[in-house]
Amino acid sequence: MAQAEQKRSTVPLLWIAGIAVLLAVVFSIRHLTRETVKVRVAPVTFQTLASRVSTNGKVEPIEPFQAHAPAPGVVQRIFVDEGQHVTAGQLLVKMDDTDDRARLASAQASLAQAQLQLSDIEHGGSTEERNTFSTNIASARVEQQAATANLAAVQALERKGSASANEVAAAQQRLNAANLALQTASSHSSGRYGSPDVASAEARVADARAAVAAAQNALAAADIHSPYSGTVYSIPVSEYDFVPAGEDLMDVADLSRLQIRAYFDEPEIGKLQDGQPVTIVWEAKPGHTWHGHIEHIPTTIITYGTRNVGECIITVDDANGDLPPNSNVTVTVTEMQRENVLSIPREALHTDGARSYVYRIVHGTLQQAPVQLGPLVTLTNVEISGGLNPNDLVVLGPATPGKELTDGLAVKPVR
């Protein structure tokens, strides 16, 4: 009886032991046979991160001098060559000034005539007229003196009874006529011209002087000089070319003072600030880089082809005559740069709504690790402000295409 009870009590224990062994075998087989996924990993490191944006731009001088044709005419002489350095005041181009000299001579002749007319009016007439007036006055005075003496003689005879009243009246009439003739001759000499005549003559002189000044300026403009020292970087005309008024004849600038007019797409404009550093490259000189800074950020949005852009002015800081005006360049603006910050490759970062996390390897399996992001995210790296330590390994992705990363996945790191 006791043996039977003992046998019945050992049966459950055997079942339990058997199940335990079976489970151990199952888990061992599963552990030995489950697939281990190879994953690419990268360490968490300190780096200098920078956020940059690139666009196209065009080089132009800060203070260009463009010589224009002052009037339609022929280019008579070009005194400099393209690429030549010139000094302030140096003669660059001479236009044909034959017509200008003729207009100046005509204007000077008109001024001389107007000045002579004004002088004649101010002096009561020309020299010939004044001589005539003087002769007439002298003759009138002689006649007046003779008429006066004659009247006195006739009056004396009348008192003696030797002359009649009619003779006295005739003598008096002669004297009156002589006085009138003298008065008329004197008035012609001194009052021939009034204030309106003088004002009109002065206006003609002023107009003539203005015409002379205009002709002189036109003649001077035919000789074009450089206003400052610089380099001749464009000569679009040749000697003996006929050009219309305003035609571009020559371009001069200080090629050490350049700027770039660049266009940034609308979403990028808000990140731009005055003074941000800029690098400049030109395809014609591969391997060479110029440097500058933003002088003026865009103040308005314009349509440039199919883009909505803002126009930005960039000053070139190290121009040395080796970056020609009107060249098309690529500018790269450093919007933000942070030194020695903890970062991971952007490929390792995962987001789930507002949550950011990475995968780390713990005991051969993947484990999600939440992280806090810093302010700087570039195309290749992300700044980490919390959740990771230097030299931690983060998973970039599976080494085998088609595999997905999941929490608890058995993995093998591959650098």
* Average pLDDT for the chain: 86
Last residue of a domain, one of 215, 242, 271: 215
Axis crossing angle, helix 195-221 with helix 98-122, rounded to the nearest 10: 160
Q: Is the pLDDT of residue 32 over 50?
A: no
What does the block give as tokens for 175? 């004297």
Task: Tell me what percent of the residues of the chain surpass a pLDDT of 70.
Answer: 87
Q: Is 268 exposed, middle or buried (0-12, 13-18, 19+ CB in 10 A)?
A: middle
Query: CATH number for the domain including 230?
Result: 2.40.50.100
**320, 359: one domain:** yes
Residue 12 lies in a domain: no
41-47 mean pLDDT:
93
Q: Which of 204, 232, 252 is the last residue of a domain?
A: 252
Q: What number is the average pLDDT over the span 140-145? A: 82
pLDDT for 162 beyond 70: yes
Do 185 and 67 form a contact (C-beta atoms < 8 A)? no
Q: What average pLDDT does the segment 282-300 reach?
A: 94
> Who wins on pLDDT, 137 or 257?
257
352 or 131: which leads in pLDDT: 352
Phi and psi at 117, nearest 5°, equal -65, -40
Higher-confidence position of 192 and 362 = 362
pLDDT, mean of residues 362-369: 90
Q: Is the domain of 156 the same as that of 88? A: no
Query: Are residues 89 and 70 part of one domain?
Result: yes
Report pLDDT for 29.
Answer: 45
Q: How confident is the model at residue 5 (pLDDT cuts 50, 70, 90)?
A: low
DSSP structure string for 149-205: HHHHHHHHHHHHTSS-HHHHHHHHHHHHHHHHHHHHHHHHHHSSS-HHHHHHHHHHH
205 domain residue, yes or no: yes
Q: Which two tokens stand for residue 392?
A: 């931690």
Same domain, 90 and 227: yes
pLDDT of 191 above 60:
no
The boundaries of the domain holding residue 352 are: 34-62+262-415
Q: Are 340 and 46 in contact (CB under 8 A)?
A: yes
Question: How many domains does the chain contain in total?
Answer: 3
Decide if 284 is inside a domain.
yes
Query: pLDDT tens across 52-101, in order?
Result: 999 999 999 999 999 999 999 999 999 999 999 999 999 999 999 999 99
Confidence of residue 33 (pLDDT cuts 50, 70, 90): very low
Instruction: Report the pLDDT averaged over residues 255-277.
Output: 93
pLDDT at position 31 is 47
- The CATH number that applies at residue 383 is 2.40.30.170
- Examine the domain organization and report whether 410 and 359 are in the same domain: yes
The answer to whether residue 6 sits within a structural domain is no
Tokens linked to 364: 């051969």
- How is residue 162 written in tokens? 């030797």
Q: Is the pLDDT of residue 26 over 60?
A: no
- Return d(Cα 176, Cα 172) in angstroms, integer: 6
| 371 confidence band (pLDDT: 50, 70, 90) | very high
Q: In this predicted model, what pLDDT tens digit does every residue of 201-232 receive, in sequence order?
A: 889 999 999 999 999 999 999 999 999 999 99
Q: Token digits for 4? A: 């039977």
22, part of any domain? no
CB neighbourhood size of 241 (10 A): 14
Q: Is residue 155 part of a domain?
A: yes
313 neighbors 259 (Cβ within 8 angstroms): yes
322 and 387 fall within a common domain? yes
Q: Is residue 24's pLDDT more than 70?
A: no
* Domain end call among 215, 238, 273: 215
Same domain, 271 and 329: yes
- 83 shares its domain with 229: yes
Q: Is the pLDDT of residue 6 over 60?
A: no
Residues 159 and 228 in one domain: no
The answer to whether residue 166 is domain-embedded is yes
Strands (E) in 12-110, as ranges, are 37-43, 45-61, 65-68, 73-78, 85-86, 91-95
Q: Are 206 and 248 in a shared domain?
A: no
- Residue 171: the pLDDT is 80
Q: 155 and 181: one domain?
A: yes
3 state DSSP class of 92: strand
Same domain, 230 and 292: no
